[in-house]
């Protein structure tokens, strides 16, 4: 049973998660998991991962509708990528539950740092907004979708921080289109991972509802901010990377300070 303070912190944390998903198409779970563990006070990392998967999937679907109205979702690429990743997400979630929770968080943080550095390296690329799925990019979309889905399920995340750079690599689309299109896969991967954790009883449904409620307003604000930043070359990439680095460093410091870690 959540206390009144935990309810308030859950709503506020959900708003932050929704803002991140609207702004960069990712960061939902990389924020949601540490927020649930370190701010709201969920004692079991696996419960935090399972609960965040449901909350992030729901918030991603809401943010997807916001981006779709703006016409920035490249549906053909997004659907192929998501379909390829669902199997990977299911298999990855089974493997993730076998690993001790604290070790999972530490591995999670290290992967985040690598992705952030890659995003900074490619921040000056503009991309081609008219890309579509073709025989040329189909293998890359399917292969990266499968790999990203597996990592998403393993770490119990929606996977946006992996999906955005993967879509840009596979198709050459601009980051704004990748952010928008990634939400299709974030929703699909999140639901797949959530179903696996819910089956194992590793979900706090009340906390998930609070995160979803808080995420509605945060998502609207994040989508507007993304459109503003996308007009400034490289700005959205830098913001995306900065969010990831900040959370990753915090998670590593928390894990290093734990006795016996």
What is the rounded average pLDDT of the residues 184-192?
85
CB atoms within 10 A of CB 218: 26
CB neighbour class for 258 (10 Å; exposed up to 12, middle 13-18, buried from 19)? exposed
The model's pLDDT over 193-222, given as tens digits with 9 standing for 90+, comes to 888 889 989 888 989 999 899 988 888 888
Residue 233 has pLDDT above 80, yes or no: no
Residue 133 has pLDDT above 50, yes or no: yes
CB neighbour class for 112 (10 Å; exposed up to 12, middle 13-18, buried from 19)? buried
DSSP 38: I
The model's pLDDT over 37-80, given as tens digits with 9 standing for 90+, comes to 888 888 888 888 888 888 888 888 888 888 898 888 999 999 99
Model confidence band, residue 189 (pLDDT cutoffs 50, 70, 90)? confident
The whole-model pTM stands at 0.73
Three-state DSSP at 103 gives: helix
Model confidence band, residue 26 (pLDDT cutoffs 50, 70, 90)? low
């Amino acid at each position: 049973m959540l206390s009144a303070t935990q309810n308030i912190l859950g709503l506020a944390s959900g708003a932050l998660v929704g803002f991140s998903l609207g702004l960069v198409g990712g960061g939902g779970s990389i924020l949601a998991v540490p927020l649930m563990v370190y701010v709201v006070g969920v004692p079991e990392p696996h419960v935090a991962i399972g609960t965040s998967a449901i909350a992030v999937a729901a918030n991603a679907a809401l943010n997807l509708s916001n981006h779709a109205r703006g016409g920035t979702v490249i549906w053909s690429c997004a659907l192929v990528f998501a379909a390829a990743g669902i199997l990977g997400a299911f298999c990855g979630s089974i493997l993730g539950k076998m690993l001790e929770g604290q070790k999972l968080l530490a591995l999670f943080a290290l992967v985040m740092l690598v992705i952030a550095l890659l995003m900074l390296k490619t921040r000056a690329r503009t991309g081609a907004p008219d890309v579509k799925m073709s025989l040329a990019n189909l293998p890359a979309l399917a292969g990266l979708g499968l790999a990203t889905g597996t990592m998403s399920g393993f770490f119990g995340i929606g996977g946006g921080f992996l999906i955005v750079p993967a879509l840009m690599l596979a198709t050459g689309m601009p980051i704004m289109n990748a952010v928008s299109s990634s939400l299709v896969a974030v929703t699909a991967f999140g639901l797949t991972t959530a179903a696996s954790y819910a089956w194992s009883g590793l979900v706090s449904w009340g906390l998930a509802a609070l995160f979803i409620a808080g995420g509605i307003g945060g998502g609207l604000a994040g989508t507007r901010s993304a459109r503003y930043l996308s007009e400034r070359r490289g700005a959205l990439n830098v913001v995306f990377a900065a969010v990831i680095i900040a959370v990753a460093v915090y998670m590593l410091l928390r894990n290093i300070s734990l006795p016996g870690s």
